[in-house]
């Protein structure tokens, strides 16, 4: 207990809410951390793109894509939670004042897998609403030319027909397992349209399906399904134990590799101006079961024993097939990475970076 109290004191925590955020891994030692060295202190000429959540799964992927496809007239600034607590408007405003962005890709969010969503529904709602509101208001005040926010297919109605498309987002309640996160994210779409109608702001959003890739959170307890399974398989291989999938393995998902999503996010920032959201996903034919994913991971990691299932664990939503026809109509030449190739690259990265990987 004394060590916990000392840690929270060192992190500059003074309230119960901050203590919860610190315990959940959201709040870092804000008082002792300095702004990222890449943040410019004065207004920049040309295009300045601020990427919130820039140290996470998708942010790192965007950074990799930009480094490979650099444009002389664009300045990209990637920030994480140590640069500003986006739940706090004053901290967010100060960040915008330092960076002076012309464009924003808003990836920052309080996220987690199924069991974390079930446990902390209130925090998932409140923290995400606070962040989204602060970022949007600052975009308006600083005359940002374009804001692209990131939603998720898990926010669609639980009771619906498939495949789901962009027009069906608000046609019913989301699945109860992640209702806190889902309702907070749905409000981004509502606010985009209101800011556009009232102030003429060019705010839009993307709806990716399940994302995976390098730099993910590979926590078995709190991570999403693919990074959690990769970590489980790694530990089973090292220990000689079982590689166990939680649930039946039957739920179906469309998975998008983080580098594919990053390329599409950049395309949306540069080319897509509609305030209505756009689904970024592989096609319906590329939908796979969790059991199939576990099999791909086992193969990529050269795990030769049988994959077991713990059917006492919840499956969550059985399927949420998304229709990517809007994307394919606007960007017909885009080529997605196959699930086998993407998982192979992710597994190789995790094995190589095991000690440093988030887990």
Q: Is residue 315 part of a domain?
A: no
Q: 75: part of which helix (H) or strand (E)?
A: strand 74-78
- pLDDT tens string 220-279: 887 789 999 999 999 999 999 999 998 999 999 999 999 999 999 999 999 999 999 999
Q: Indicate whether 26 belongs to any domain.
A: no
Q: Classify residue 188: in a domain, yes or no.
A: yes
State the catalytic residue, choosing from 120, 127, 181, 212. Answer: 181
pLDDT in tens, 15-29: 555 554 544 444 443
**What is the domain range of residue 195?**
34-212+256-286+320-339
Let me know: does 139 contact 104? Beta carbons within 8 Å. Answer: yes
Number of other residues whose CB lies within 10 A of the CB of residue 216:
27
Return the CATH number at 201. Answer: 3.40.50.720
Domain membership of residue 191 (yes or no) is yes
Q: Which residue is listed with tokens 């606070």?
A: 130
How many domains are there within the chain?
1
**Does 5 map to a domain?**
no
Q: Can you say whether the dihedral through the CA atoms of 170, 173, 175, 180 is positive or negative?
A: positive
Q: What is the pLDDT along the chain (359 residues), one digit of tens a residue?
A: 444 445 445 545 555 555 545 444 444 433 333 344 355 545 556 899 999 999 999 999 999 999 998 788 999 999 999 999 999 999 999 999 999 999 999 999 987 777 777 788 999 999 999 999 999 999 999 999 999 999 988 899 988 999 999 999 999 999 888 899 999 999 999 999 999 999 999 999 999 999 999 999 999 887 789 999 999 999 999 999 999 998 999 999 999 999 999 999 999 999 999 999 999 999 999 999 999 999 999 999 999 898 999 999 888 778 889 999 999 999 999 999 999 999 999 999 999 999 999 98
Q: Does 127 participate in catalysis according to the annotation?
A: no
pTM above 0.85, yes or no: no
**Is residue 196 one of the residues assigned to a domain?**
yes
Quick check: is 68 in a domain?
yes
CA distances for 92 relative to 96, 107, 143, 162, 191, angstroms: 6, 14, 15, 38, 18
Quick check: is 312 in a domain?
A: no
């Amino acid at each position: 207990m004394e060590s916990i109290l000392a840690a929270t004191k060192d992190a500059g925590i003074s309230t119960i809410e901050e203590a919860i955020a610190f315990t959940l891994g959201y709040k870092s030692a804000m008082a002792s951390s300095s702004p990222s060295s890449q943040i410019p202190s004065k207004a920049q000429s040309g295009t300045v793109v601020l990427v919130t959540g820039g140290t996470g799964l998708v942010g790192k992927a965007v950074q990799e894509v930009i480094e490979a496809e650099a444009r002389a007239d664009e300045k990209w600034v990637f920030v994480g939670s140590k640069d500003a607590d986006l739940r706090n408007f004053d901290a967010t405003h100060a960040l915008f004042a330092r960076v002076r962005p012309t464009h924003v890709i808003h990836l920052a969010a309080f996220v987690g897998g199924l069991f974390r969503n079930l446990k902390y529904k209130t925090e998932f709602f409140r923290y995400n609403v606070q962040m989204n509101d602060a970022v949007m208001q600052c975009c308006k005040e600083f005359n940002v030319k374009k804001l692209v926010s990131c939603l998720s297919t898990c926010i669609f109605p639980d009771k619906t027909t498939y495949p789901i498309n962009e027009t069906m987002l608000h046609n019913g309640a989301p699945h109860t397992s992640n209702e806190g996160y889902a309702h907070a994210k749905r409000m981004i779409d509502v606010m985009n349209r209101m800011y556009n109608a009232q102030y003429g702001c060019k705010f839009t959003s993307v709806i990716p399906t399940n994302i995976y890739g390098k730099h993910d959170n590979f926590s078995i307890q709190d991570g999403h399904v693919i990074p959690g399974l990769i970590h489980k398989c790694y530990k089973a291989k090292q220990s000689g134990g079982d590689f166990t999938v939680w649930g039946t393995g039957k739920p179906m998902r469309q998975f998008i590799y983080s580098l594919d999503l990053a390329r599409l996010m950049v395309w949306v920032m540069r080319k897509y101006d509609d305030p209505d959201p756009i689904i970024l996903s592989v096609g319906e034919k590329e939908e796979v079961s969790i059991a199939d994913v576990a099999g791909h991971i086992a193969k990529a990691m050269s795990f030769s024993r049988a994959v077991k299932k713990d059917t006492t664990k919840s499956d969550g939503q059985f399927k949420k097939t998304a229709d990517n026809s809007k994307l394919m109509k606007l960007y017909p030449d885009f080529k997605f990475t196959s699930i086998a190739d993407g998982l192979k690259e992710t597994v190789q990265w995790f094995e190589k970076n095991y000690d440093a990987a988030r887990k």
